[in-house]
Amino acid sequence: MARLTINGKTHDVAVDPSTPLLWAIREQVGLTGTKYGCGIAQCGACTVHVDGAAVRSCVMPVAAAEGKKITTIEGLANGRALHKVQKAWLDNEVPQCGYCQSGMIMAVAALLREKPKPTDADIDARVTNICRCGTFQQVREAIHAAAKA
Amino acid sequence: MITKIPKLTRRSFVIGSTALGAGLAIGLKIPFGPSVVRAQDGSPEVTAWVVIRPDDTVVIRIARSEMGQGTLTGLAQMVAEELECDWSKVKTEYPTPGQSVKRKRAWGDFSTGGSRGIRDSHQYVREGGATARIMLIQAAANAWNVPTSECSAANSVITHKPSGRKTTYGKVAEAAAKLTPPEKPALKDPTEWKLIGKSVKRLDTMDKLTGAQVYGFDLKFPGMLNAAIKDCPVFGGKLKSYEAAKVTSMPGVRHVVTVGDSAVAVVADTWWQAKTALDALPIVWDEGENAKVSSDSIAAMLKEGLDADQAFVANQNGDVKQAIAGAAKKVEAVYAYPFQNHAPMEPMNATAKYTPDRCEVWVPTQNGEAAFAATLAASGLPADKCEVYKLHLGGGFGRRGAFHDYVTQAVLIAKQIPGTPVKLLWTREEDMLHGRYHPVMQCKLVGAFDSSNNLTGLHMRLSGQSILTSVRPEALQQGKDPLVFQGLNPSGDFGIGYSVPNLLIDHAMRNTHVPPGFWRGVNINQNAIFLECFMDEMAHAVGQDPLEFRRKLMTKHPKHLAALNAVADRAGWSKPAPQGVYRGLAQMMSFGSYVAACAEISVKDGDKIKIQRIVAATDCGYAVNPAQIERQIAGSFVYGLSGLFLQECTVKDGHIEQTNFNNYDSMRIAQMPKVESIVMPSGGFWGGVGEPTICVAAPAVLNAYFAATGKRIRTVPLKNHGITLV
Ligand code: FES
Ligand code: FES
């Protein structure tokens, strides 16, 4: 059993403490916007915020997330008002298949919180998610657009 | 939303087209008679492609699959163009394969691959829209008792010009659906298009930003169980035994089941429990003969084919042997291309529910009909007791088109737990082990020159795998696999862009036990590297500029040449590149489009490549949505350059050695070059978009690397040469 605070709500999840946070979020809490792509912290599809920092949830055991503030893609917008990264993604039509984009958006939102005006080098260093559709050109444009918003 | 099943109907009608698959009885008429076919919510279907609701919402049916390439939006644009409907009221839905079978393939081919989504169906989907428009106008004219010639439609509003009366599509749809459709609706001239050619926004973006988009992997049903699977790591091997008792008491575990003769699955309450138990399950495999195969043994087999006497000929003119024998100068090189995995971001999955009366499958698939066929075969039930529901794909790239091994597995598992929906999800590791890999190929090229350095002969000998032999043997032509020669044919959608006085392009087929598949771009990937790098080699061997050398051979191929010229002009080929920057060119025709690229790179320490910019041109005939085409070009380069620099599946003891993205890497944003797209539709034909450009990035970069370093790289991936992309 673990007590998780996700998008402002508390959930008691009956799982082994070693269960990765990703699977607790998806299978116990039922929020499926966070994706699985590799399970070994390589691709970033599972990125969520834990106390504001971008974390690859496929390798974080639920035990380590207890008592922390977790935000998933479903909790990024403020009610119906899109987060500025989501808005920039919409305006720049970033997603292709979209599967990687939850993680991509969460990684970028964390970057912008820390560095509101990231340089290309900042982006290169901090956004290391895999996108097999290859949306990187639009991702970069949209990050700069979000930084200006 | 995905559990909604469109209401089935007795009526069968079709919008006919010669593009529909041969061998099926296709009616060429659309609805007739007094009764109306209705969508799930009761709204009338005007044609099989168009449902109009009373509130004027237009639901456009899309048979092809959306996997990121934008075909959903592009196809809707095509229907809406002829329908003259209000674009802001357009929604889309997938018809189901089972429904299509019942309605004698009302929606034609579901297959989404080969960059065919638009180029194969443009005629009949536009006719579907035009037919609906004509019927809607007729219905309004009937109500007003005026001739249709006095009425016109725009933006879902029908106007009677003389009286100024107006009505909307939603109001007349019910009456329109009862009318006899016109025989052969006239289509607009391309000069009249208002929506085709416009970069309208995609229809499927919003849900992909909020986590709301439901992929196959996200499905939830009451009472659903989750399955994790392991198939014998060696292709062709079998499952010998496993010790279920060791895991049955682990948390959540419900069943341990044999799947076919080569796999075992654990079924549990959650997938994580299933996977954890599967990892703990002792399994013994019977790997069989194939366990002796390695990358080296495969390479040796291919090498033998480079000089073999027997080969299938695809393109031949003149007498190449004689030209080579009498050459004043010869250039010769051997190239090779490896196995590669598709690795779409969403791992393979399918959800199945089986009872002896009905089998239903929910699956991300590039081909709903093929998934349906797999469901029938695995369930043993007839077509009227099966159904497949498609979901948007988290990437496909060819892995989810011709192959539905994961559907077969899901049904075989569900069959052992009747009445319970079971979601099967592969691990990334399973996906790496059980791909349908980019075929391996080697190529020996010999160029012959006369004493004035004119190219007199070219022999290109391919040696390696045939996809069709493994996947669609009925498509072979007296044993020859025509698909091997993409980009090298004398003419057609994959026509070569050069005329050489004596030419021979042939293929020594050498198949392996590693199953080949259609990997975005398919065989143009290696063919473009072989041909376009060798063009460069030959140009340098005779001291000619690579652009000028090509141009001389391209005078009879004006569209190929126009694409090449476009990138050369934009890149400023005639002027020197900036200090430290080197350029390389490539051009090709693939999937009906003419494409070219100029790469500009810099090289640090001899082995760190920075791609400064790639200028890419595509002439796809008609460009339906230029903004989406630009995204496909940039995206195809990420896929192609990941393949060039990073990706190889090697074989050891009969199985693939790579396990996950840690040893089968994919490009990141830091490595992404600036891509400048030139979309140059010249009109008059429909070329593909999703795949064609993929092939020109790699040879353009390799040629630039030679310009920078004088080193010619002839095998992929570049990581094997210690070269990194920075
Ligand atoms: S699934 Fe967590 S990084 Fe890939
Ligand atoms: S949008 Fe498809 S993987 Fe990124």
CA atoms of B291 and B119, how far apart (whole Å) = 42
The pLDDT of residue B125: 85
Tell me the DSSP string of B548-585.
Answer: HHHHHH-TT-HHHHHHHHHHHHHHTTTSPPPTT-EEEE
- DSSP assignment letter at B432: H
Shared domain for B57 and B18, answered yes or no, is yes
Q: What is the residue type of B240? A: K
- Residue B1 within a domain: no
Instruction: Specify whether the backbone of B68 is left (phi greater than 0), alpha (psi in -120 to 50) or beta.
Output: left
Shared domain for B172 and B118, answered yes or no, is yes
Number of domains present in the structure of chain B: 3
Interface contact flag, A98 B204, Cβ < 8 Å: yes
Shared domain for B105 and B246, answered yes or no, is no
| Ligand 2 environment, Cβ below 6 A | A 95-101, 131-133, 135; B 68, 345, 395
- Residue B677 within a domain: yes
* Residue from B67, B203, B206, B210 to probe the interface with A (highest A Cβ count within 10 Å): B210
- Closest approach of A138 to chain B, Cα-based (Å): 8
A140 touches chain B (CB under 8 A): yes
Average pLDDT per block of 10 residues along chain B, 726 residues long: 32 24 23 54 79 88 82 88 93 86 81 70 86 94 97 96 96 92 91 93 93 95 97 98 98 98 98 98 98 98 98 97 97 98 98 98 93 96 95 93 94 98 98 98 98 98 97 94 97 96 98 96 96 98 98 98 98 96 97 96 97 97 91 94 98 98 98 96 90 94 98 98 98
- Closest approach of A81 to chain B, Cα-based (Å): 11
CA atoms of B70 and B280, how far apart (whole Å) = 42
Shared domain for A16 and A55, answered yes or no, is yes
Q: What is the residue type of B684? A: G
- Closest approach of A95 to chain B, Cα-based (Å): 7
- Closest approach of A148 to chain B, Cα-based (Å): 19
Q: Which domain holds residue A36?
A: 2-75
Q: What is the residue type of A74? A: E
Shared domain for A96 and A71, answered yes or no, is no
- Residue B78 within a domain: yes
ipTM of the complex: 0.98
The pLDDT of residue B116: 64
Shared domain for A9 and A66, answered yes or no, is yes
- Residue B515 within a domain: yes
Shared domain for B185 and B87, answered yes or no, is yes
- Dihedral sign, Cα of residue B551, residue B552, residue B558, residue B559: negative
Give contacts of A89 with chain B, Cβ < 8 Å: 205, 209
pLDDT digits (tens, 9 = 90+) for A122-145: 999 999 999 999 999 999 999 999
Closest atom of ligand 2 to A97 CA is 2
Shared domain for B386 and B407, answered yes or no, is yes
| Both structure tokens of B381 | 């039930």
Shared domain for A12 and A69, answered yes or no, is yes
Interface contact flag, B668 A136, Cβ < 8 Å: yes
Closest atom of ligand 2 to A98 CA is 1
Residue whose CB lies within 8 A of the most ligand 1 atoms, among A34, A46, A60, for a mutation test: A46
The pLDDT of residue B230: 98
Q: How many CB atoms lie within 10 A of CB B198?
A: 15
Quote the ligand 2 centre to A45 CA distance (angstroms): 9
pLDDT digits (tens, 9 = 90+) for B70-100: 888 888 898 899 999 999 999 888 888 888 8
pLDDT digits (tens, 9 = 90+) for A11-29: 999 999 999 999 999 999 9
Shared domain for A144 and A98, answered yes or no, is yes
Quote the ligand 2 centre to B634 CA distance (angstroms): 12
B418 touches chain A (CB under 8 A): no
CA-closest residue to ligand 2 atom 4: A131
Residue B105, CA distances (Å) to B111, B407, B671 in order: 12, 22, 45
Shared domain for A113 and A91, answered yes or no, is yes
- Residue B555 near residue B433 (C-beta atoms within 8 A): no
* Residue from A28, A38, A71 to probe the interface with B (highest B Cβ count within 10 Å): A38
Closest atom of ligand 1 to A44 CA is 3
- Residue B643 within a domain: yes
- Residue B535 within a domain: yes
CATH code assigned at A15: 3.10.20.30
Q: What is the residue type of B121? A: S
State which of A75, A104, A127 marks the end of a domain.
A75
φ, ψ of residue B18 to 5 degrees: the values are: -70, -15
Shared domain for B87 and B225, answered yes or no, is no
| Both structure tokens of B117 | 């989504």
- Residue B662 within a domain: yes
Tokens 């032509």 sit at which residue?
B477
Shared domain for B139 and B188, answered yes or no, is yes
State which of B390, B425, B460 marks the end of a domain.
B425
Beta-sheet pairing, A69-71 with A2-6? parallel
Shared domain for B354 and B492, answered yes or no, is no
Q: Return the residue of A nearest to B69 by Cα.
A: A96
HSE-CB at A95 with a 13 A cutoff on CA atoms is 32
B224 touches chain A (CB under 8 A): no
| Both structure tokens of A16 | 């082994």
CATH code assigned at A102: 1.10.150.120
Shared domain for A94 and A127, answered yes or no, is yes
Shared domain for A9 and A70, answered yes or no, is yes
Q: Which domain holds residue B261?
A: 219-288+348-425
Cβ contacts of B92 within 8 Å, gap of 6 or more: B59, B60, B61, B62, B72, B76, B203
* Window 372-401 of B, Cβ < 8 Å to A: 392-397
The pLDDT of residue A1: 84
Give contacts of A76 with chain B, Cβ < 8 Å: 210
Shared domain for A55 and A109, answered yes or no, is no
Interface contact flag, B271 A98, Cβ < 8 Å: no
Strands (E), B204-250: 225-231, 238-242
Shared domain for B122 and B178, answered yes or no, is yes
Q: Return the residue of B nearest to A128 by Cα.
A: B668
Number of domains present in the structure of chain A: 2
Shared domain for B201 and B239, answered yes or no, is no
CATH code assigned at B672: 3.30.365.10
Quote the ligand 2 centre to B520 CA distance (angstroms): 14
Quote the ligand 2 centre to A134 CA distance (angstroms): 6
Shared domain for B89 and B156, answered yes or no, is yes
| Ligand 1 environment, Cβ below 6 A | A 36-39, 41-46, 56, 58
pLDDT digits (tens, 9 = 90+) for B485-518: 999 999 999 999 999 999 999 999 999 999 999 9
Shared domain for A100 and A142, answered yes or no, is yes
Ligand sitting nearest the alpha carbon of A26: 1
Shared domain for A98 and A50, answered yes or no, is no
State which of B425, B458, B492 marks the end of a domain.
B425
- Residue B430 within a domain: no
Shared domain for A88 and A144, answered yes or no, is yes
State which of A24, A55, A75 marks the end of a domain.
A75
Shared domain for B646 and B576, answered yes or no, is yes
